[in-house]
A and B are shown apart, each in its own frame.
Chain A
Amino acid sequence: MADPRRSRHPVVELTLARFRILVREPEALFWAFVFPILMTVALGIAFRSAPAGVVPVAVVQGARAAHVVAALRHAPSVEVFTIEPAEVHATLRDGLAHLVVEPGTPPAYRYDPTRPENRLARLTVDGALQRAAGRSDLWAARDEPVVVPGGRYVDWLVPGLLGMNIMSTGMWGVGFSVVMQRSRKLLKRLVATPMLRSHYLIALVAARLAFLVLEVGVLVVFARYVFGVPLVGSLGALATVSVVGAMAFGGISLLTASRARTAEGVSGIMNVVQVPMWVCSGVFFASSNFPDAVQPIIQALPLTALIDALRGVMLNGDSLVALRGEIGLLGGWTVASFAVALRIFAWR
């Protein structure tokens, strides 16, 4: 036991207090730890790689239906069943079949050509039916299956969730709690002590980084041991990218919280800041899906840079030098947001 008359350094006490409040808040723990794991499990299972492409195909009942069914039954990786003519639309809409065959000479295919799996079904079925009708293949190519590590959806998803988590924990953990302290007049109470304002801000950052170690560690370890998500790059690179990302969102969070007086007010601002990035920054699907015209904006968003960098480290093994663009962008967001936030921060 230390001398009770001696007191710890204010930065240590402020950091401890903040860290304690964070880990004693069940909701915060849920969003920081449980939610990303649930998302990984749910999406990892839903979008797991299908066992070597089983293609469900429906055949409309009628004169030559039995013939078509027999031909497809011999085709590899096709699962065939028959439906009534009235069921065609419902079958396609609900994804029960990727393609509907209307028997005839020649047969007709009903499918949605904008869906890749439907186009795949058309190729497979057309080949099988033509082969059954007498076409002969020129050769049988040799297939050499290769499993690329990090090529599955879950591998791609986990860095996205990690980035999203660093953003949202940063926003709520830093900004929201500052506004709560302001609205409860605790910030004013602290200003009425000899506390140095710089100590308060250093403690904000220190507690955020301590929490970051836990949240990144838990998700990366879980994803690795349950789903086999790789970490191709170095731990050091992962840590650096995470810290730079957390700092950028810490700054943005402080900026959103620098003036707000109520929990409702800051919640609104934070959603306005976060939602576009959830959608555009490539958490669940590639941000390259958006039109070229908006790409400059999307690429300038901090979450896009953070997720690109995390994917680079985890899936590609990129070095920090290779990621200097993303890291530089996040650093820029950090400096700019802290500079403005400190200038306009309301201490009362």
Chain B
Amino acid sequence: MEGNIAAMGQFIGAGLAAIGSGAAAIGVGHVAGNFLAGALRNPSAAGSQTATLFIGLAFAEALGIFSFLVALLLMFAV
């Protein structure tokens, strides 16, 4: 066993930060799935709500991107 403990912490931290991407995936799935469920019940209203859908997707996705960014920063920039 060799290597320094700081590098180990860095890699473990990056791996932990990447969990956030999975969590964001759950969020995005929720948004899209609920939209689809609602759209199938009332298809005539679905068209006018696509903008809201994309805003919701963007907000959910942004946090996953943040965690991805933290992982990248830990891997390459620290």
User: Is the A/B pair a real complex?
Assistant: no
- Which B residues form the contact surface with A (CB < 8 A)? none
